[in-house]
């Protein structure tokens, strides 16, 4: 969101500024191109596809939350409607209509836009808590509606399609995941660039202004409700594209695509990545997608870990990852990073112990459920889990307490060290 092109510059400076602005995009494009060669397994490729979709979805979410101050608890509705629209188009292509697969996300965009028109018409009238509550209600209504009209949404089973049924464009078929990845990556790159470009337009700036003080905006001659509505539409458009890409990737769209879990997931990604920067949600989308897929194959408790991670971020790191990074870039640039290594490393034992305690307790809980259902308790960190024995719970509590005590004791030092280095950097 920071201004990348300054005013009152000479042409040469301006060209240099433009180059500096373009560099991250070139690097991102390179990374997106190279990634599938490094992660070429089926699992790796499908992970990359999900990341690409999640990036577009999270960026569209942050158009509302971080840039516009709108907390949308039902953002997955926009994604889901895009998905359903793209899926119907995919089926129409299968039935003989000339719709090549690469263009399916356009139908997703239309679906997302339509949903945003309906939802934005009511939600954009309000801001802050009332806006959030309206989106919460709209999300529930959409979930109910999806199940109420099986002829349109396929009921519980959802609707399925085959992306390779449609006509080929330039001889490109999309049976292979490899091709699907490059399709998703291209769309994701294009959408990200457009969303970035939007932040530097008058509407993008008005959205920031509405976020900071919506009443003041109205005294500057702009209707804040209209600003919110337009931003909501644009956000819906991009969320719809993400939904279209998801339909293309999964070849199935169900009511879970519009569910409150899906809405919660994008909130988690965006918040973990950081709402205060443009690129924060990108980081969050990559990290959380990876965590969710990795954790869900490893443990039944992954949703609990998700929730705890979110809660911890809200309390301790409201700026998310990008906030943490931004808090350190000036120090690192000034070469003061070394002074922080010690104080930060001192947090590791406490952090590790606390984390181990949380994981121990959560896993023990799930073993308890397994035992109750007649399954074997299995192993826990190499030991046989005995969830009915109190001492095993005591271990978890002890780990957690020990970690918390260490963090409580050593955290102020890290904070002071950071403050001291920051002060020194500013002074210099």
* Residues 146-175 interacting with other proteins (rule: CB under 8 A): 148-152
Closest distance to other proteins from the beta carbon of 123 (Å): 7
| Residue number with CB closer to other proteins (177 or 256) | 256
Query: CA-CA-CA-CA torsion for 55, 60, 66, 69, nearest 10 degrees?
Result: -160
Q: Are the CB atoms for 364 and 392 separated by under 8 Å? A: yes
- Which 286-315 residues touch other proteins, going by CB under 8 A? 301, 303-304, 306-308, 310-311, 314-315
Which of 158, 264, 274, 323 is in the footprint of other proteins by CB under 8 A? Answer: 264
| Residue number with CB closer to other proteins (110 or 195) | 195
| Residue number with CB closer to other proteins (302 or 340) | 302
The SS3 assignment for 279 reads coil
> CA 49, CA 182: separation in Å to the nearest integer?
9
- Tell which residue, 156, 159, 82, has the closest CA to residue 119: 82
User: Which segment (54-62, 82-90, 260-268, 400-408) binds other proteins by CB under 8 A?
Assistant: 260-268
Q: Please report whether residue 145 would count as binding other proteins according to CB under 8 A.
A: yes
User: Which segment (36-44, 48-56, 239-247, 365-373) binds other proteins by CB under 8 A?
Assistant: 365-373
Question: Hey, which bits of 273-339 come out as E strands?
Answer: none
| Residue number with CB closer to other proteins (249 or 270) | 270
- Tell which residue, 250, 244, 230, has the closest CA to residue 109: 244
Q: Are the CB atoms for 103 and 166 separated by under 8 Å? A: no
What are 282's two structure tokens? 């990108």
Q: Please report whether residue 372 would count as binding other proteins according to CB under 8 A.
A: yes
CB burial class (10 A; 0-12, 13-18, 19+) of residue 41?
Answer: exposed
Which of 44, 94, 137, 337 is in the footprint of other proteins by CB under 8 A? Answer: 137
| Residue 64-93 contact track with other proteins, rule CB under 8 A, x = bound | -----x-x-x--------------------
Q: Please report whether residue 37 would count as binding other proteins according to CB under 8 A.
A: no
Q: How many residues bind other proteins (CB under 8 A)?
A: 79
Q: Please report whether residue 133 would count as binding other proteins according to CB under 8 A.
A: yes
> CA 107, CA 165: separation in Å to the nearest integer?
16
Closest distance to other proteins from the beta carbon of 185 (Å): 25
Q: Are the CB atoms for 356 and 321 separated by under 8 Å? A: no
Q: Are the CB atoms for 108 and 191 separated by under 8 Å? A: no
- Which 193-232 residues touch other proteins, going by CB under 8 A? 197-198, 200-206, 208-209, 211-213, 215-224, 226-227, 230
């Amino acid at each position: 969101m920071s201004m990348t092109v300054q005013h009152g510059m000479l042409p040469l400076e301006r060209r240099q500024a433009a180059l500096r602005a373009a560099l991250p995009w070139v690097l991102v494009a390179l990374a997106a191109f190279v990634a599938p060669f490094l992660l070429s397994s089926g699992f790796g490729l499908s992970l990359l596809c999900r990341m690409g979709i999640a990036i577009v979805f999270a960026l569209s979410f942050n158009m509302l939350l971080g840039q516009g101050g709108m907390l949308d608890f039902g953002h997955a509705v926009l994604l889901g409607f895009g998905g359903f629209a793209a899926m119907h188009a995919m089926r129409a292509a299968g039935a003989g209509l000339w719709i090549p697969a690469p263009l399916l996300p356009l139908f997703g965009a239309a679906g997302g836009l339509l949903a945003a028109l309906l939802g934005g018409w009511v939600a954009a009238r309000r801001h802050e808590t009332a806006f959030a509550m309206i989106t919460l209600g709209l999300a529930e209504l959409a979930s109910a509606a999806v199940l109420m009209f099986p002829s349109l949404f396929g009921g519980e089973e959802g609707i399925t399609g085959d992306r390779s049924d449609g006509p080929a464009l330039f001889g490109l078929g999309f049976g292979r995941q490899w091709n699907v990845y490059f399709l998703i990556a291209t769309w994701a790159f294009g959408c990200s660039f457009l969303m970035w470009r939007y932040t530097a337009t008058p509407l993008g700036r008005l959205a920031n202004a509405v976020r900071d003080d919506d009443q003041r905006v109205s005294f500057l001659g702009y209707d804040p409700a209209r600003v919110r509505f337009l931003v909501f539409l644009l956000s819906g458009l991009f969320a719809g594209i993400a939904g279209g890409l998801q339909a293309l990737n999964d070849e199935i769209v169900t009511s879970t695509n519009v569910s409150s879990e899906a809405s919660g997931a994008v909130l988690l990604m965006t918040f973990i990545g950081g709402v205060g920067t443009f690129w924060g949600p990108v980081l969050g989308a990559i990290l959380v997608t990876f965590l969710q897929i990795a954790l869900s194959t490893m443990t039944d408790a992954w949703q609990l870990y998700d929730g705890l991670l979110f809660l911890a971020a809200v309390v301790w790191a409201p700026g998310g990852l990008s906030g943490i990074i931004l808090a350190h870039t000036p120090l690192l640039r000034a070469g003061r990073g070394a002074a922080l290594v010690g104080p930060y490393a001192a947090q590791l034992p406490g952090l590790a112990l606390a984390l181990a305690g949380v994981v121990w307790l959560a896993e023990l809980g799930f073993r308890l459920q397994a035992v109750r259902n007649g399954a074997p308790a299995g192993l826990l960190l190499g030991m046989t889990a005995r969830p009915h024995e109190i001492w095993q719970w005591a271990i978890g509590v002890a780990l957690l307490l020990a970690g918390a005590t260490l963090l409580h004791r050593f955290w102020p030092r890290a904070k002071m060290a950071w403050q001291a280095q920051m002060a020194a950097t500013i002074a210099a």
